[in-house]
């Protein structure tokens, strides 16, 4: 579907660019030439629609994370809250971020700002788990994109988890002496 949209947008924008270039060569009115080839309403609709399809110039894949994270969010938090994660020292910032998000979630809130009111207190949002790559997707001035914030924390946790056995989490042995672990 996007391929057809992109092709249609390129067609409109190419006609506008051709009119622009031809007008420059001829020395005629650029605005008249462009709008004679492509009506203003079509050009505006094309630009608006094309912006929604644009990827960042550096093709940073993190701009696509939200559509994949949202369906997994509830399950990830359920898993996070059910297991006792014991990260190494470098994993502590991710734990702090996820604990903060989980506390807010209990109040039916999301991480929305660098500082935000929780009850009668103003709390600072832990940000030390954010890499430079994540910061531009998470911190938007004084606001925070909540899905990207949480996804960054889960990615950081995933990258830093370890245990003495090399497993993410070890279940206790059962009465029959079976030992289950999840890698």
Task: Give the model confidence (pLDDT) of 129-156 as tens digits.
Answer: 999 989 988 998 889 999 999 999 998 8
Q: Note the pTM of the prediction, 2 decimals.
A: 0.62
Residue 57 in this model has a pLDDT that exceeds 80: no
In a domain, 80, yes or no: yes
Report for 19-23, 81-85, 91-95, 177-181: range of highest mean pLDDT? 19-23
Q: What is the pLDDT of residue 44?
A: 93
Residue 62 in this model has a pLDDT that exceeds 90: no
In a domain, 60, yes or no: no
In a domain, 48, yes or no: yes
Residue 48 sits in the same domain as residue 71: no
In a domain, 183, yes or no: no
Query: Taking residues 108-119, what's their average pLDDT?
Result: 89
Q: Are 130 and 119 in contact (CB under 8 A)?
A: no
Residue 11 sits in the same domain as residue 78: no
Q: Are 46 and 9 in contact (CB under 8 A)?
A: yes
Residue 45 sits in the same domain as residue 128: no
- Mapped onto helix, strand or coil, the DSSP state of residue 132 is helix
- Structural domain span for residue 144: 66-169
Single out the residue in 29, 54, 79 at which a domain terminates.
54
Q: How many structural domains does the chain have?
A: 2
Buried b (16+ CB within 10 A) or exposed e, 11-25: ebeeebeebeeebee
In angstroms, the Cα distances linking 108 to 13, 102, 105, 176 are 45, 10, 5, 42
Query: Taking residues 62-80, what's their average pLDDT?
Result: 84
Residue 112 sits in the same domain as residue 144: yes
Q: What is the pLDDT of residue 163?
A: 46
Report for 54-63, 114-123, 167-176: range of highest mean pLDDT? 114-123
Residue 138 sits in the same domain as residue 76: yes
What DSSP element (H or E) covers 99?
Answer: helix 92-106
Q: What is the pLDDT of residue 177?
A: 41
């Amino acid at each position: 579907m996007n391929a057809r949209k992109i092709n249609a947008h390129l067609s409109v924008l190419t006609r506008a660019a051709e009119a622009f270039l031809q007008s420059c060569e001829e020395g005629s009115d650029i605005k008249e030439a462009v709008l004679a080839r492509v009506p203003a309403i079509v050009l505006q609709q094309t630009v608006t629609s094309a912006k929604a399809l644009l990827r960042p110039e550096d093709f940073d894949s993190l701009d696509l994370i939200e559509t994949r994270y949202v369906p997994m969010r509830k399950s990830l938090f359920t898993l996070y809250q059910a297991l006792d994660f014991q990260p190494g020292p470098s994993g502590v910032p991710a734990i702090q971020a996820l604990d903060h998000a989980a506390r807010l979630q209990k109040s039916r809130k999301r991480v929305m700002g660098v500082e935000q009111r929780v009850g009668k207190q103003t709390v600072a949002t832990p940000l030390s788990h954010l890499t430079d790559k994540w910061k531009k997707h998470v911190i938007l001035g004084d606001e925070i994109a909540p899905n990207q914030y949480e996804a960054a924390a889960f990615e950081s946790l995933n990258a830093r988890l370890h245990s003495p056995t090399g497993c993410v989490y070890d279940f206790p042995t059962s009465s029959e002496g079976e030992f289950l672990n999840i890698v």
